[in-house]
Amino acid sequence: MDTGDRPARLAVGVLGAGRVGSVVGAALARAGHRIVAASGVSDASRQRAADRLGLAPSSPEDVVAKADLVLLTVPDDVLPDLVTGLAETGADLRGKLVVHTSGAYGLAVLNPATRAGALPLALHPVMTFTGRDDDLARLTGISFGVTAPDQLRMVAEALVIEMEGEPVWIEEKDRALYHAALAGAANHMVTLIAESSDLLEKIGVQEPGRMLGPLLGAALDNVLRLGIAGLTGPVVRGDAGTVRKHVDALILAAPEAADAYVALARLTADRALAAGLLKPEAAERLLDALGGNIWT
């Protein structure tokens, strides 16, 4: 195959035409590649293959046989067994690009396919996929975490650029930490906001989203522009009494959330102290308010 800065037009097969696979497949098609086959386990995946890729579902063996690029877009826990299964069943992977989109894995998970002659790539789109029609538009301009053998790096980066993304190189050894950083930010943010919305509803706020939206938008803008210097609120002000009131209120209203609040407040205090935003004596008062037996 052509390993220049622009890959040749490829026949693409999608193993796992779910939320991610159908969108990445559609993005490759938009770039001029041909989607030749797709497989899916669930009814929803089969429907996405039909709606987004214009294909009836095929068997995994048929997907691999028809493709120059095999796109593995399955849940992280399924990926190792899928790769091993492809290699052990004798699928002809020689000279084929085998690409997974997992954030947590790098190239090692593809070793069985690589030993069978495949060309391995890890291309992780840094975006949430909801299954809605606007998922494809969300790919434009986003980062992709790229890990590839040196000789395939230009191919990997070119594929990302063709999908209108920005390739960001991630070393193999750093994939787990890379994904932990992304999941911690995006997934935990959803949990925190959902919890805050529930608490507001408990006290009678009818549209918590309208109340939280401007505040959260400003907070996100602050941290992306300023880092920890964009921190506001009682912790950075050293308001230990207020923080303690928060903990006491959470113990009564939502005890399952109190431990998370304490852990995050401690982390916030530590970072504010290290950045010089919080004086040591104020930090000590905060940690006292958060420490000991918080349940008494």
The number of CA neighbours under 13 Å toward the Cβ of 278 is 29
Task: Delimit the domains of the chain by residue range.
Answer: 11-170, 178-290
The answer to whether the beta carbons of residues 232 and 241 sit under 8 Å apart is: no
CA separation for the pair 82, 88 (Å, rounded):
10
User: Residue 5: pLDDT above 70?
Assistant: no
Residue 49 pLDDT level (bands cut at 50, 70, 90) = confident
CA separation for the pair 157, 48 (Å, rounded):
26
The Cβ of residue 253 has, within 10 Å, a number of other Cβ atoms equal to 13
For residue 7, what pLDDT is reported?
Answer: 55
CA separation for the pair 227, 223 (Å, rounded):
4
Pick the CATH number of 11-170 from 3.50.50.60, 3.30.70.1350, 1.10.10.10, 3.40.50.720: 3.40.50.720
- What pairing do the DSSP bridges indicate for beta strands 119-125 and 97-100? parallel
Provide CB contacts within 8 A for 226, sequence distance 6+: none
Q: Which two tokens stand for residue 183?
A: 């999941």
The answer to whether the beta carbons of residues 116 and 106 sit under 8 Å apart is: no
The CATH class for the domain spanning 178-290 reads: mainly alpha
User: Residue 48: pLDDT above 90?
Assistant: no
CA-only gyration radius of the chain, Å: 24
3-state secondary structure of 98: strand
State pLDDT tens for residues 171-201.
Answer: 999 999 999 999 999 999 999 999 999 999 9
For residue 133, what pLDDT is reported?
Answer: 81
Residue 145 pLDDT level (bands cut at 50, 70, 90) = very high
State pLDDT tens for residues 232-280.
Answer: 999 999 999 999 999 999 999 999 999 999 999 999 999 999 999 999 9
The answer to whether the beta carbons of residues 12 and 67 sit under 8 Å apart is: yes
Higher pLDDT, 283 or 44: 283
